[in-house]
Chains A and B, each alone.
Chain A
Amino acid sequence: MKAEELNKLRDQFKAEIAMQDGSCDYRVLVGMDTGGQAAGAVPVYEAMVEDTKKNGYKCKVIAAGAIGVSSLEPIVEVVAKDGTKTTYVHVNPDKAHEIMAGHIGQGKIVMDYVVGTTPLGKMGREANDPVVTNIEDTEFFKRQKRVVLHNCGKIDPCDINEYIGADGYQALAKALSSMKPRDVTAEVLKSGLRGRGGAGFPTGRKWGFINPDEDKDHYVICNFDEGDPGAFMNRAEIEGDPHGVIEGMALAGYAIGAKQGYIYVRAEYPLAIERLNNAIAQARKDGLLGEHIMGTDFTFDLELRLGAGAFVCGEETALIQSVEGKRGMPNPRPPFPAISGVWGKPTVVDNVETLFNIPLIIHNGADWFLGIGDEKSHGTKVFCLAGKTNNPGLVEIPLGTTLREVVYDIGGGCQAGKKFKAVQTGGPSGGCLTERDLDTPITYDTLVAAGSMMGSGGMIILDEDNCMVDVARFYMDFICDESCGKCTPCRVGTKRMLEMLTSITEGRGTQKTIDDLKYLAAEIKDSALCALGQTSANPILSTLNKFPEEYQAHIEKTCPSHVCKKLLKYEIDREKCIGCGACERNCPVKCIAPTDYVAPGKKLPARAIDQYKCIKCGTCMATCRFGAISRH
């Protein structure tokens, strides 16, 4: 389709989305990304579709992307013709019927189920403040700036027309009609956009390494491997707005002179794959992908290539090997992919979120992007708040927002009133930031200075019940498993570091173990082939630096957070024990037996645990109804 047709569609569907064209009175958006569906959104959606048909309601029920608040799912948002939005949370099919009957049928908000009834909805409000009905009025949302996620949860991800109605493909039209390829790269460079996959390399500079005019095959690859455990930003972005990445890749292809793009998506994301395939087919049908896009000479098409469960394939050279159908093992750089990438040709590899920013930068201009965020780190970043936070979910904030704001004002602090201990950013390549670091503004450089890194966006909140040595061991176990095995420092080194860490968590570590660990970590950082190996020691070094007392305690054979099993001791208080024998009966290794002692006031002999046989499973403590068993 040509530009005028695109504009006509835009106007038509903008009016339809705003319900200005009389086609409907309500838009009912059900959060149906993977997380929403896991929480039970499908029967809710089906109930609402059924009610609409049965009653002939003038409303459109949409299976939308994530609204992004995991603890409140399933979430349903009802948008009225006048633009007011009501957010319903913890919806189930029964509540869905009530909402349809009350809100759609009679125009009355069903106040019992709105977001304002939840702790998240009440955050930062006084007791007699009116109940919040729109999630965008909560503290959780007010501090966010939804730029990359601007369509997520607001449009139908399976309908290209809604994307177009939200100004979709306008950037591509602008680039193809009034910009040369190098102009697009220049604009991206000017915006200061840095890669959102974790390394933060300036995107415009990466694209600038490729000459768009040379007569050679060039390729664009979207890195949608998203392997960091605890990160699901890219999944939510694509499940909610797949055309965003398609338009971004088309613009990248135009800028570097590529005719073919690959989206490397991990196979563990079947819904994202389905929505992407659907979106690509629609874009092709509308002449926005394929040959002579929008009637110009520009030809660009997309293909999906699936990951198969290898974390290392998030590293760009390993990813390229995987696209080529081989073992995903990294290669030394140089040569960089911009010189020799997939099929040996110049290739640009960009993260999903980086690509989502491209159409917005081209449409709104680099100056608009420069106006958001911090002076050295521009724009926004989507983070996934998870772990012990009260409000797990998607958080998009302008760079420069402080950690304190994210952890407390948005995240609501730790569950069950527990004490905050650390926030882990950057996944297995990152480090932890503590109470002392909370006033650090979140930018690429400040996080590195504070001993961690931005990473792809995973933010795991840890509280007083987490053991930092165990967390470091967890990450090392992961890395050891995921090491491709090509270079000795990583293949052997991570194994050794894991053995050392495990010995510390099992009470066999000494000061020498810690010293050896530090030495080995430094060596591996210097000599490993790729970023997986080079950054593998970061969690260890970070926890050693910020929590030396925890390592010291483990050397002295205790785990202060009561996590490391081999360092736990379960004891029965013989004064409290009434001798019922429940613990003895339930012990899987039969290590509890009666003693000679009967406590004053009790009738039966107190029990005792044979510490040599005890496997520290905790069943006895869970079974005792008299609080007689404790754990040290």
Chain B
Amino acid sequence: MQKLNEASLRKIDEIVARHKGQPGPVKMMLHEVQDDLGYIPFEAMEKIAAAADVSVAEVYGVVTFYTRFKTQPSGKHVISVCLGTACYVNNSQTMLEKILELTKSPVNGTSTDGLFSVDATRCLGACGLAPVAVIDGTVYGNSLKSGLAEKRIKEIIAAERKA
């Protein structure tokens, strides 16, 4: 495992200090670490365990239970494809396969070039726009027919190639 830099370690310390002493703090600390650093480094689990007076194994158990908490950093661009029922019956599986092919990322993983993370998510609650894909926080509704999600991904790849 790569060693975390000073700035990240300090961030973790701040988060832990903020919630220490509150009832049931482990998950709240994990949420903030995930939002700030994009994943839960092992050092964070150690610090959280110490502050909450529980074992590291218990913290690891919480991290691995919830899909939102990642133990690996995400790619530079995060793509979510909704596989909720409404999207699924409107062919979101096909959309997902197209995106996996374009990005060369495994599902619920990161591409080897670190550019893309593609997640097959649960229902995002925008069922009227099925099938839904989200790229870097922007929602692409009716993604199969509009073709805009694929267009955006190709734009990103072209821009990254230039850079």
Interface of A with B (CB < 8 Å)?
34-35, 37-39, 69-71, 73, 226-232, 235, 267-269, 305-306, 308-311, 322-329, 343, 384, 386-388, 392-393, 424, 427, 458, 460, 462, 466, 471, 474-475, 478, 484
Cβ of B72 to closest chain A Cβ, rounded Å: 16
Q: Which one of A34, A267, A475 contacts B126 once the chains associate, using CB atoms below 8 Å?
A: A34
Asked if A38 meets B122 with Cβ closer than 8 Å, knowing A308-B68, A386-B127, the reply is no
* A460 CA / B121 CA spacing, docked (Å): 18
B84 near A230 (CB under 8 angstroms)?
Answer: yes
**Contacts A/B (CB < 8 Å), 7 sampled:** A34-B139, A70-B126, A230-B86, A268-B124, A326-B24, A392-B86, A478-B122
Alpha-carbon separation in the docked complex, A343 to B23 (Å): 9
Count contacts between A and B, CB distance < 8 Å. 131
Is B62 on the interface with A (CB-CB < 8 A)? yes
**Contact, CB under 8 Å: A232 / B89:** no
List B86-138 residues whose CB lies under 8 Å from chain A: 86-90, 121-130, 132
User: CB-CB < 8 A to B28: which residues of A?
Assistant: 305-306, 325
B141: nearest chain-A partner, CB-CB: A38
In angstroms, Cα B128 to Cα A477, docked, is 23
A393 and B128 in contact, given A310-B67, A325-B25 (Cβ under 8 angstroms): yes
Q: Is the CB of B27 within 8 A of A387?
A: no
B125 near A232 with CB under 8 A, answer yes
State whether B127 touches A70 (Cβ < 8 A).
Answer: yes
Known: A229-B122, A388-B89, A462-B89. A327 touches B129 (CB 8 A): no
CA distance A156 to B25 in the complex (A): 34
Pairwise interchain contact B123-A232, C-beta atoms closer than 8 A = yes
A310 near B84 with CB under 8 A, answer no
Contact with A along B43-55 (1 / 0, CB 8 A): 0000000001000
Give the CA-CA distance A478 to B67 in the complex, in Å.
13
Neighbouring A residues of B122 by C-beta, 8 Å = 227, 229, 268, 309, 311, 478
Known contacts A388-B90, A460-B86; 14 further A-B pairs (Cβ under 8 A): A69-B128, A70-B126, A229-B88, A230-B127, A267-B68, A268-B122, A306-B31, A310-B67, A325-B24, A387-B85, A388-B89, A460-B89, A471-B89, A474-B85
> Across the two chains, which residue of chain B brings its CB closest to A384?
B127
Closest 6 CB pairs of A and B: A70-B128, A229-B84, A308-B66, A325-B24, A309-B67, A386-B86
Inter-chain contact A328/B127, CB cutoff 8 Å: no
Q: Give the distance to chain A from B114, nearest Cβ to Cβ, in Å.
A: 23
B21 at the interface (CB under 8 A from A): no
Contact A310 B65 (CB under 8 A): yes
B42 at the interface (CB under 8 A from A): no
Which chain A residue lies CB-closest to B142?
A39
Question: Is there an interface contact between A38 and B127, defined as CB atoms closer than 8 Å?
Answer: no
Q: Which of B68, B89, B129 contacts A38 (CB 8 A)?
A: B129
- Judge whether B12 is part of the interface by a CB distance below 8 angstroms: no
Q: Which residues of B contact A (CB under 8 A)?
A: 23-28, 30-31, 52, 58, 61-62, 65-69, 83-90, 121-130, 132, 139, 141
The answer to whether B139 and A325 touch across the interface, beta carbons within 8 angstroms, is no
The reply to whether A70 and B129 form a contact with Cβ atoms under 8 Å apart is yes
Question: From B124, which residue of chain A is reached at the shortest CB distance?
Answer: A268
Which partner residue on chain B sits nearest A232 by CB separation? B125
Contacts of B68 in A (CB 8 A): 267, 308-309
CB neighbours of B30 from chain A (8 A): 308
Min C-beta distance of B111 to chain A, whole Å: 20
Whether the Cβ atoms of B27 and A322 lie closer than 8 Å is: yes
| Whole-angstrom CA separation of A70 from B87 in the bound complex | 13
Q: What is the CB-to-nearest-CB distance from A427 to chain B, in angstroms, rounded to a whole number?
A: 7
What is the CB-to-nearest-CB distance from B93 to chain A, in angstroms, rounded to a whole number?
Answer: 9
Determine the distance from Cα of A326 to Cα of B52 in the docked complex, in whole angstroms.
12
User: What residues of chain B lie closer than 8 Å to A308, measured between beta carbons?
Assistant: 27, 30-31, 66-69
Contact status A232-B69, CB under 8 Å = no
The smallest C-beta distance from B155 to any residue of chain A, in angstroms, reads 18
Q: How far is the CA of A427 from the CA of B88 in the complex (A)?
A: 13
Taking CB atoms, residues of chain B closer than 8 Å to A37 are 139
Inter-chain contacts of B62 with A (CB < 8 A): 325-327
Minimal beta-carbon separation of A411 from chain B (angstroms): 12
Q: Is the CB of B85 within 8 A of A386?
A: yes
Q: Does the CB pair A71–B24 fall under 8 Å?
A: no
B132: which A residues are within 8 A, CB to CB? Answer: 38
C-alpha gap A471/B26 in the complex (Å): 37
Nearest-Cβ distance from residue B116 to partner chain A, whole angstroms: 19
Bound-state CA distance A384–B67 (Å) is 25
Contacts of B83 in A (CB 8 A): 229
Contact of A35 among B26, B65, B87, B128 (CB under 8 A): B128
Alpha-carbon distance between A34 and B52 when the two chains are bound, in angstroms = 35
A196–B96 CA distance with the chains assembled, in angstroms: 33
Q: Is the CB of A229 within 8 A of B65?
A: no
CA distance A386 to B141 in the complex (A): 14
Q: Which partner residue on chain B sits nearest A415 by CB separation?
A: B90
What B residues does A34 contact at CB under 8 A? 124-126, 139
Cα-based distance from A458 to B87 in the complex (angstroms): 13
Scoring B26, B87, B125, B127 by chain A CB atoms within 10 A of each residue's CB, the highest score goes to: B125
Q: Contact between A38 and B139 (Cβ–Cβ < 8 Å)?
A: yes
CB distance from A417 to the nearest CB of B (A): 17
| Contact B86 A325, beta carbon cutoff 8 Å | no
Return chain A residues, CB-CB under 8 Å to B61: 327
Of A38, A232, A267, A328, the most chain B CB neighbours within 10 A belong to: A38
Check if B66 sits within 8 Å of A232, measured CB to CB.
no
Please determine whether B85 and A460 come into contact, CB atoms closer than 8 angstroms: yes
Quick one: which of A323, A329, A427 contacts B24, CB cutoff 8 A? A323
Q: Are A386 and B24 in contact (CB under 8 A)?
A: no
Contact in complex: A235, B125 (CB < 8 Å): yes
Residue of A nearest to B35 (CB): A267
What is the bound-complex CA distance between A328 and B62, given in angstroms?
A: 8
Rounded to whole Å, the gap between the CB of A591 and the closest CB of chain B is 18
Question: Is there an interface contact between B125 and A35, defined as CB atoms closer than 8 Å?
Answer: yes
Residues of B within 8 A of A384 (CB): 127
Residues in B neighbouring A324, C-beta threshold 8 A: 23-24
Write out the residue numbers on chain B whose beta carbons fall within 8 Å of the beta carbon of A73: 128
Q: Complex: how many Å from CA A262 to CA B119? A: 29
Residue from the list A69, A328, A424 in contact with B66, Cβ < 8 A: A328
A325 to B141, CA, bound (A): 34
User: Which A residue sits closest to B19, measured CB to CB?
Assistant: A325
